[in-house]
Amino acid sequence: FNGHIHTQLQAQFCDKQQQINSLQQQLIAWKLSQNDIPPGNAGGKVSHYTDLALLTHECSKKTRHIPLRQLLCRANKAILAIKPCFMMGPMSVAQYLTPGELQFDLLVIDEASQIRPEDSLGAILRSRQTIIVGDPKQLPPSRFFDQTIETDQDVTALEESESILDAVTPLFKKKQLQWHYRSQHEQLIHFSNQHFYNNNLLVFPSPQKASGHFGIEFTYIEKGIFLKNKNYIEALRIVDAIKVHLINQPEQSLGVVSMNLKQSDLIAQLLDEQSKQDSALQNAITLNKKTSEPFFIKNLENVQGDERDTIFISCTYGPQQAGGKVAQRFGPINAPTGWRRLNVLLTRARKKMQVFSSMLAEDLKVTDTTSRGTIALKDFLDYAGKHSKSSSNAQQGIATTPMQKSLTQALKQQGYNCRFNVGLEKFYLDIAIINPQNPEHFILGLSFDGGLYDQRQSAEDRNCIKAQVLNKLGWKIKFIWTMDWYKAPQVVIDEILQLLAELKKEQATCLAPAAIKMAVQPEPDSNNTRVTKKHHKTEKKEADFIDAEFEELTTPPKHQEENKEAEAKKQIFRLLKRLEELHQTLIRQYPDTPEQKQLLRPEMLQALAYYVPIDQQEFNELIPDYLRKETAPEQLDHIETVLAMIRETVLILEQMGWDFNRANGNENSDAISYFHITDL
């Protein structure tokens, strides 16, 4: 046995397999092109034309075409010869295909869990064979929004009926597709795999640890209140997050899903209102609409079939007053099939899922009568909170073979740290080597030819598809053949070290242009890197908006590395500068307003920094009454602008990892105390 020769054969096999797949597609297209197209009747009245003659006549016309149903009835044989594959919904089949006129060899029903038996019957009767494809763990047929009762209580479904998938499952053979491709981080599917699929899915590990672009992030909306089937504060936070995402990550597609229709409508309304006042957001939305996957705002009932890189989830429900208890009513989640709806919601993201919730797992109470959906929701909130921005769900076991132990020991001597058996139960990499330049990423994965390699059912699965999926996820993979290791272990180690050196060199080459660009950036003008001291139109000559002792703190760093604290300084500096500009604008606009009644006077600034309100409701609840009453009404009208600035900065800092305990003030908050903002 020679590993190099076997690796070459493996590559040749995969290449030939791809060629065969391509040739099969070409063969199908060629065979279809050889179909005889019935010429049909071309004599007499036009109303008597059929098949190709009718199609040719209709194609020559610019207007007054015959109805589609009539065309499919009179030219069905020619249409089937030209286009033998129809893609239609059940209602379109009934509307356009006259019974008895068209007969298909094969019918494939996709998303069958959402189609009722009576709706699918017409298509089944027009076909000789039927394949029914669907997920019994996902959304069933529902008239949830077809018939509702107007009430302040949660809207519940009046009727749910069995799907064609449920009807035929006990009667015919079934085959489960186990390979999961959508999620590019195992955190995203691990919960559903464990709670709904009995760990039967084969999930591939991610080379990335959970970060700002991968995995799960949980955002607790402490002041969120659920009234009249809506959560206004939660919707505001989501709109802010949408803005940040569309502007800063336009290349990452986005979807927003809420638990009910009213919440999704509220989010859409607030986003529309904010975009009218924010040109940057409006431009980002306009550009996003031109992409292949524009962002959407949907509810739990109509999101099945959609997927995006990032999914924002609005949990919607919460207490009806600040600090109150959460009513144990969760709309469709309470229904017997509520867990299936939840499963749909939790499997839409490809890279990242960000959960916005005004309730925690402990707010949901479980009793003997609690529905499976509510129990699953409680478990998910607990899961999301524990795994938010954590590294991975992938198991990281211990070395179980001498080969693993010897390899990792040799790699450690060369400065490389390793993890064993990285992945979940049904698939893992024997060794994953941590990138020394980026500890949040695995630079190389090593896969052995024993264990799981032998369990794959076909040569294509073992040698091609697995590697293709891992490469698509961003892995660099090297196969290690056991016979090579036993014959010449040092040769194997040297090959791995050589490959690692090449990968590090590639990374350095990729990073070089960015480093050069940073190096040639001009030094910022010193006049622009400090908060400008502007004089108020009062007798005070040096009434600076920001005290001089904060000037150094708010100066953006020039040469130091942009670490967490330095980047946060920039955001605080930016906020202070924007507030100062607004303050000067208000002074010019209202020159007669006394200093003690100005909106952004020192006392008000101190209260804003202490409580950090992000909307009008929090401003009214948290800011002392005397401060609000002493503010001139004409300046108080501009408070929403101030709150929007604070809200944007808080969101950015929270995404960077700073903690804001806004309910009790920020005297103990890491971000606030670090910058001494409470002394402002």
- Distance, C-alpha 261 to centroid of its chain: 20
Q: Residue 28: how many CA atoms within 13 Å on its side-chain side?
A: 8
Q: Where are the domains of the chain?
A: 181-387, 400-519, 548-679
**Residue 133 binned pLDDT confidence (cut-offs 50, 70, 90):** very high
Q: Is the predicted pLDDT of residue 618 greater than 90, yes or no?
A: no
CA gap 191, 378 in Å, rounded: 12
Q: What percent of the chain has pLDDT over 90?
A: 35
Question: What is the pLDDT, as a whole number, of residue 667?
Answer: 42
Q: Is the predicted pLDDT of residue 264 greater than 60, yes or no?
A: yes
Task: Read off the pLDDT of residues 499-548 as tens digits, 9 standing for 90 and up.
Answer: 999 888 887 665 444 443 333 333 333 333 333 333 333 333 333 443 44
Question: What is the pLDDT, as a whole number, of residue 370?
Answer: 92
Which pair of structure tokens corresponds to residue 452?
A: 């799981």
- Render 649-669 in DSSP notation, one character per residue: HHHHHHHTT----GGG-STT-
Q: Which of 292-296, 406-410, 554-558 has the highest mean pLDDT?
A: 292-296
Q: Is the predicted pLDDT of residue 6 greater than 60, yes or no?
A: yes
Question: What is the pLDDT, as a whole number, of residue 664?
Answer: 44
Q: Is the predicted pLDDT of residue 578 greater than 50, yes or no?
A: yes
CA gap 59, 63 in Å, rounded: 10
Q: Is the predicted pLDDT of residue 669 greater than 80, yes or no?
A: no
CA gap 431, 217 in Å, rounded: 27
- Measured N-to-C along each axis, helices 639-655 and 232-248 cross at an angle, to the nearest 10 degrees, of 70
- Measured N-to-C along each axis, helices 338-345 and 372-387 cross at an angle, to the nearest 10 degrees, of 30
Beta bridge mates, 126: none
The CA–CA distances, whole Å, from 473 to 185, 189, 204, 216, 500 equal: 9, 15, 9, 17, 19
Q: Is the predicted pLDDT of residue 158 greater than 60, yes or no?
A: no
Question: What is the pLDDT, as a whole number, of residue 382?
Answer: 93
Residue indicated by tokens 């959508």: 182
Q: Is the predicted pLDDT of residue 450 greater than 50, yes or no?
A: yes
Decide the pairing of beta strands 308-314 and 296-299: unpaired
Q: Is the predicted pLDDT of residue 483 greater than 70, yes or no?
A: yes
Which pair of structure tokens corresponds to residue 262?
A: 């009213």
CA gap 118, 164 in Å, rounded: 8
CA gap 283, 269 in Å, rounded: 17
Task: Read off the pLDDT of residues 465-480 as tens digits, 9 standing for 90 and up.
Answer: 888 888 888 899 998 8
Q: Who wins on pLDDT, 522 or 129?
A: 129
Task: Read off the pLDDT of residues 74-95 as tens digits, 9 standing for 90 and up.
Answer: 998 999 999 999 999 998 998 8
Q: Who wins on pLDDT, 570 or 118?
A: 118
Q: Among candidates 630, 625, 629, 613, which has minimal Cα distance to 665?
A: 613
Q: Who wins on pLDDT, 513 or 138?
A: 138
Segment 8-15 mean pLDDT:
91
CA gap 150, 639 in Å, rounded: 36
Q: Is the predicted pLDDT of residue 292 greater than 50, yes or no?
A: yes
Beta bridge mates, 203: 180
Which pair of structure tokens corresponds to residue 466?
A: 């697995």
CA gap 303, 283 in Å, rounded: 26
The CA–CA distances, whole Å, from 467 to 8, 11, 258, 458, 501 equal: 14, 11, 36, 14, 21
Question: What is the pLDDT, as a whole number, of residue 228?
Answer: 86
| Angle, CA of 140, 263 and 373, to the nearest 5° | 40
Residue indicated by tokens 């799981």: 452
Which pair of structure tokens corresponds to residue 586?
A: 């208000």
Q: Is the predicted pLDDT of residue 662 greater than 60, yes or no?
A: no
| Angle, CA of 524, 526 and 528, to the nearest 5° | 75
**Residue 659 binned pLDDT confidence (cut-offs 50, 70, 90):** low
Rounded to a whole number of angstroms, the distance between the first and last alpha carbons of the chain is: 74
Residue indicated by tokens 């065969």: 20
Question: What is the SS3 assignment for 557?
Answer: coil
Q: Who wins on pLDDT, 493 or 528?
A: 493
245-259, 324-338, 444-458, 523-537: the lowest-pLDDT one: 523-537
Question: What is the SS3 assignment for 452?
Answer: helix
156-170, 248-262, 264-278, 441-455: the lowest-pLDDT one: 156-170
Amino acid at 531: V
Q: Who wins on pLDDT, 670 or 323?
A: 323
CB count within 10 Å of CB 226 equals 26
Q: Among candidates 266, 359, 277, 264, which has minimal Cα distance to 320?
A: 359
Instruction: For the chain, give the mean pLDDT.
Output: 81
35-39, 530-534, 557-561: the lowest-pLDDT one: 530-534
Q: Which CATH architecture has domain 400-519?
A: 3-Layer(aba) Sandwich (3.40)
Q: Who wins on pLDDT, 515 or 56?
A: 56
Segment 281-289 mean pLDDT:
93
CB count within 10 Å of CB 266 equals 24
- Render 384-440 in DSSP notation, one character per residue: HHHHTT-S-SSEEE---SHHHHHHHHHHHHTT--EEEEEEETTEEEEEEEEETTEEE
- Contact at 8 Å (CB) between 476 and 443? yes
Q: Is the predicted pLDDT of residue 632 greater than 80, yes or no?
A: yes
- Contact at 8 Å (CB) between 448 and 430? yes
Q: Is the predicted pLDDT of residue 61 greater than 80, yes or no?
A: yes
**Residue 392 binned pLDDT confidence (cut-offs 50, 70, 90):** very low
CA gap 491, 500 in Å, rounded: 14
CA gap 530, 524 in Å, rounded: 10
Question: What is the pLDDT, as a whole number, of residue 343?
Answer: 92
Fold of 181-387: Rossmann fold (3.40.50)
CA gap 678, 583 in Å, rounded: 18
Residue indicated by tokens 């401003």: 619
Secondary structure of 521-549 in the HEC alphabet? CCCCCCCCCCCCCCCCCCCCCCCCCCCHH
State the DSSP H helix or E strand holding residue 305, giving kind and residue range, or none if neither. none
107-116, 255-264, 384-393, 593-602: the lowest-pLDDT one: 384-393
- Contact at 8 Å (CB) between 566 and 560? yes
Q: Is the predicted pLDDT of residue 377 greater than 90, yes or no?
A: yes
Task: Read off the pLDDT of residues 418-432 as tens digits, 9 standing for 90 and up.
Answer: 888 887 767 788 889
Q: Who wins on pLDDT, 276 or 666?
A: 276
Q: Among candidates 541, 538, 568, which has minimal Cα distance to 553?
A: 568
Question: What is the pLDDT, as a whole number, of residue 563?
Answer: 66
Q: Is the predicted pLDDT of residue 105 greater than 90, yes or no?
A: yes
CA dihedral in degrees (542, 546, 552, 558; nearest 10)? -110
Burial of residue 455 (CB within 10 Å: 0-12, 13-18, 19+) is: exposed
CA gap 215, 674 in Å, rounded: 29
Decide the pairing of beta strands 179-180 and 202-203: parallel
By residue count, the chain amounts to 680
Q: Is the predicted pLDDT of residue 52 greater than 90, yes or no?
A: yes
**Residue 335 binned pLDDT confidence (cut-offs 50, 70, 90):** confident
Segment 175-184 mean pLDDT:
85
Question: What is the pLDDT, as a whole number, of residue 295?
Answer: 93
Q: Among candidates 263, 261, 269, which has minimal Cα distance to 231?
A: 263
Amino acid at 559: H
Question: What is the pLDDT, as a whole number, of residue 544?
Answer: 44
Question: What is the pLDDT, as a whole number, of residue 390?
Answer: 54
